[in-house]
Amino acid sequence: MLPRGTSAPDFELYATPDQKLKLSDLKNKKVILAFYPADWSPVCDDQMNLYNEMGKFFSRHNAQVLGISVDSKWSHLAFTDHNKFHFPLLSDFEPKGEVARLYEVYNEKTGECQRALYVIDEAGFIQWSYLSPVGINPGADGILNALEELDNAKTINQ
């Protein structure tokens, strides 16, 4: 995984079948990148639903969640509609895993993203990361702790 303090590589991926989202468009917001192996799998379903429920807590920290997997934009659309997600799922479909490779979380053996989290600050620098075993939901505690630390550091520096 990319280390803390690294400038987060910019990317542009499909967020819907006809709209792309660019990471740099979210400057002045903290960004939570949640890489996950696949739509419709039990652990991924639980993880993404948890982040959907945690949205109001993330927004208190001026943070936006972005889910990323190698599934197609059409799979993401169905998965989002089924679960009523309120955050974008981005399709790292073609070239397959290009963004996951940039963030060093692509699993060549399975052809999927690893279950990995990054918290990026408003200036576009990685401030926290976590690689979870594929079969374990990493939860939201680490993300919330990282967001609180960033807010506390900002308060101290003002």
Task: Note the pLDDT tens digit of each residue in 40-65.
Answer: 999 999 999 999 999 999 999 999 99
Candidates 31, 32, 44, 143; catalytic one: 44
Query: What domains, with CATH codes, occur in the chain?
Result: 12-157 (3.40.30.10)
Has 44 been annotated as catalytic?
Answer: yes
Structure tokens at 155: 């308060």
Q: Is the pLDDT of residue 36 over 80?
A: yes
Q: Can you give 56-118 as a three-state secondary structure string?
A: HHHHCCCEEEEEEECCCHHHHHHHHHHHCCCCCEEECCCCCCHHHHHCCCEECCCCEECCEEE
pTM: 0.96
In this prediction, residue 158 carries a pLDDT of 66
Q: Which of 156, 61, 69 is nearest to 116 (CA)?
A: 69
CA torsion sign for 7, 13, 16, 20 is positive
Q: At residue 140, does pLDDT exceed 90?
A: yes
Q: How would you class 38 by CB atoms within 10 Å of its CB: exposed for 0-12, middle for 13-18, buried for 19 or more?
A: middle
